[in-house]
Amino acid sequence: MQSATLKDLIEDRQILVLPGVFDGLSARLVQSFGYRAAFVTGAGLSESRLGVPDIGLMGMAESLEGAAMIARRTSMLLLADGDTGYGNAVNTFVTVQRFEQAGLSGIMLEDQVWPKRCGHMSGKSVIEADEMVEKLRAAVAARRDPGFVIEARTDAAATHSIEEAVRRGNLYAKAGADLVFADALMSVEDIKSFTLGVKAPVAVNMGLGLRSRATTPLVSAKTLERMGVAVVIYPRLLTTAAFRGMQLAMAALATALESDAVVENPSLQVSFEEFHESLGMSEFTEIEEAYSPSAS
């Protein structure tokens, strides 16, 4: 049982590092490394469950189902991606209720126009700040546990300016957001400006360095901590690593088939025993033995 809430971890002086998880397997893996909390990446759910990019093709029911499944399989505190709340303030109210009821510890809500898209893609649009403020007020009213975290995300830095992102960040904090996040900040100076300008705990997204065009510069967690950042998320670390691993495994299979060889590569695969133990096989074995006819 967790003694600290997600809000406690956010308010701690040490930066909270949230790896992105997208299924039960990735959640179990992150938990095995000692993490107390993680971020349920909406992009990862869309990519892994539907096989489509993060461009608003996944609705609330699919997002909730994925997040709830992960919550059932881990004891970590989970901050879920609630996209735009999937509509107006009423939709947002219901979305928050359902994610909290499903066992999540917090939800991120953004000010993009629906259908949204990944923050580092072009073609984004944002709703008026006043409309987002009302959606956040509805989100705060919807939660039953005051410890359930409401994170407000703004994409206005890309569509307007860093000054507008800071303005919106403060409006969203005043509306009740516990954590504020500006996506796709284009420089270290922008990260500093947003962190110093917003009067609330700030989250930063660290994406990928392997890209053809510049987005948010990669900065170490310790450096972000010294800058005053409260939370850093790594939403695409495991999804892209998993995909690269599958690419390498399929390439090894192709090579083995061409040369009439056996497919066995310890550098690409874990053992049968290690894999099942990571999924908690020993726990299920104990239950099976405790409640078998011979035990009775």
35-49 pLDDT per residue, tens: 999 999 999 999 999
Both structure tokens of 185? 């900040």
Tell me which H or E stretch contains 210.
Answer: none
- The CA distances from residue 139 to 142, 171, 207, in Å, are 5, 14, 27
pLDDT attached to residue 212:
46
Tell me which H or E stretch contains 80.
Answer: strand 77-81
Q: pLDDT above 90 covers what percent of the chain?
A: 78
pTM flag (> 0.75): yes
Cα–Cα distance for residue pair 17/9, rounded to 1 Å: 10
Mean pLDDT value of segment 30-34: 96
Cα–Cα distance for residue pair 73/24, rounded to 1 Å: 6
pLDDT attached to residue 119:
65
6-242 CATH pick, 3.40.50.150, 3.40.190.10, 2.160.10.10, 3.20.20.60: 3.20.20.60
Q: Are 238 and 26 in contact (CB under 8 A)?
A: yes
Confidence of residue 1 (pLDDT cuts 50, 70, 90): very low
pLDDT(61) > 70:
yes
Sorted by where each begins, the domain ranges of the chain are 6-242, 266-296
pLDDT attached to residue 21:
98
pLDDT(69) > 90:
yes
Confidence of residue 194 (pLDDT cuts 50, 70, 90): very high
Place of tokens 């495994």: 249
Cα–Cα distance for residue pair 5/2, rounded to 1 Å: 7
Phi (first) and psi of residue 78, to 5 degrees: -120, 125
pLDDT(253) > 60:
yes
Mean pLDDT value of segment 176-189: 95
pLDDT(130) > 80:
yes
Q: What beta strand segments (E) does 65-223 contain?
A: 77-81, 106-110, 149-154, 179-182, 202-205
For residue 291, give every residue at least 6 positions away whose Cβ sits within 8 Å of its Cβ, in sequence order, or none.
none
Single-letter amino acid, residue 195: T
